[in-house]
Structure 1
Amino acid sequence: MTPGTLVLLGAPLPGELADELRTQGLHVVVPQPTEDPMSGARYVAGSALAIAAAAPEAPLVLVGHGPAGPLLPSLGGAQKAAKRLVGGYVFLDADLPAHGGDWPDAPCAFLATSEGDARLSAARARAWETAHTTPENLCESLRKIIAEL
């Protein structure tokens, strides 16, 4: 898929990922909510407001890093309520949402920077696209896995 906007969530994001993606011509939004991802709904609300303020182009691809991963389905729901199409979700070294309840309703992928990441197996069991990369190749690997969504 070709995203209109990549939304990068979670902190700290690896290296200069957002800047590198922008230099490759992608529209990237990096919400900076005042809440920590562990705050759940407050983090989702703050992120949704930041995304709206950025006037994103559809379709959105939501990329969650670390503890922001389980919040991607809720944030996707907020975007859909705002009439913004979510085309996919990428879990980047991220915790996965629990089965049931809020669940991604667009194609999903898991990208790991550690070969032994046990979450890769869980993502494969869910029939998601999966890949392993090195930090040096993160930008290219992210673009590739998004293209496969």
Structure 2
Amino acid sequence: MTDTALVLVHSPLVGPLSWRSVAQRVEARGVPTAVPSLLAADGVPESWRPQADAVASASASLEEGARRFLVGHSAAGPLLPACGAAIAARGSPVAGYLFVDAPLPAPGSWFDTAPPEMARMLRDLTGPDGRLPRWSDWWPPEVILRLLPDPTLRQQFCDELPRVPLAMFEEQRADIEGWADAPCGYLQLSGEYAADAAAAEQRGWPVERLESHHLGMLTQPAEIADALERLLSRMG
């Protein structure tokens, strides 16, 4: 993978810390990485535009001519086609896409495909300012304690969580034609994304499944780095 570079895109609901430990391990193997921050890129309508621009700006820090693979976790998955288009507009076509415990890109808004009970929960959680509480506060406290038992890591993770606008879930996603012509792969970390992993397999993509959890990049970075390397080797 000497000419490969990874752009590790965090979910807009969390922060770049979610990828940093994986990035360190990937770079230790000689693969350059970029970890963009989407924390300031939540303007609506069309929040995907500043988010894609932030990813393209981070990608520009990588060596010219490197084969850039976009890796998106969770809610970053549907953003990857727009990010790829923004990078290509700067003269560096994306070599492929990797989805990590993420929904696959689809037309429409998040609410169009969300389970009704989840949509109701988010509307009920929305504050008077139109923003949601931090992602960690969507769930009972024991959920985050179970995912991130180390108190220091948990505090660091929670400290950078943004309060995103509900409107971000209502806006129409970017409709980018031809993005799936590039090689794609899928890494499943939790049971909640079994259907997405199965859909990726049906498309003929290479799929890896780990016994982990949705924030496994924070607690099992070496295993995640290994799985990404295996997927990249299968994607060509």
TM range (shorter): 0.7 to 0.9
Secondary structure of the structure 2 residue equivalent to 1:118:
helix
Report whether the alignment pairs 1:123 with 2:209: no
Distance between the aligned counterparts of 1:10 and 1:57, measured in 2?
24
Which residue of structure 1 aligns with residue 6 of structure 2?
Answer: 6
Q: How does 1:103-118 map to 2 (within 5 A)?
A: 103-115=179-191, 117-118=194-195
Shift of 1:112: 0.7
Seq. identity, %: 34
| Max Rg structure | 2
Report whether the alignment pairs 1:19 with 2:95: no
Distance between the aligned counterparts of 1:5 and 1:64, measured in 2?
14
CA gap 1:2/1:133 in 2 versus in 1, 3 angstroms: farther
TM-score (norm 2): 0.56
Shift of 1:4: 2.5
**Larger helix proportion of the pair:** 2
Secondary structure of the structure 2 residue equivalent to 1:128:
coil
Shift of 1:115: 4.7
Distance between the aligned counterparts of 1:21 and 1:56, measured in 2?
19
* Deviations 1:111-147 (CA, angstroms, capped at 9, x unpaired): 0112562211111121111110244321101111011
Which residue of structure 2 aligns with residue 35 of structure 1?
Answer: 41
Distance between the aligned counterparts of 1:36 and 1:66, measured in 2?
16
CA gap 1:2/1:110 in 2 versus in 1, 3 angstroms: farther
Which residue of structure 2 aligns with residue 86 of structure 1?
Answer: 94
Q: Is the 8 A contact 2:2 2:30 kept in 1?
A: no
Report whether the alignment pairs 1:71 with 2:79: yes
Shift of 1:8: 0.1
Shift of 1:85: 2.9
Specify every segment of 5 or more residues in structure 1 that has no aligned partner in the other structure, as ranges: none
Specify every segment of 5 or more residues in structure 2 that has no aligned partner in the other structure, as ranges: 109-174
CA gap 1:84/1:25 in 2 versus in 1, 3 angstroms: same
Paired letter, 1:94 = A
Shift of 1:50: 2.4
**Larger strand proportion of the pair:** 1
Paired letter, 1:121 = A
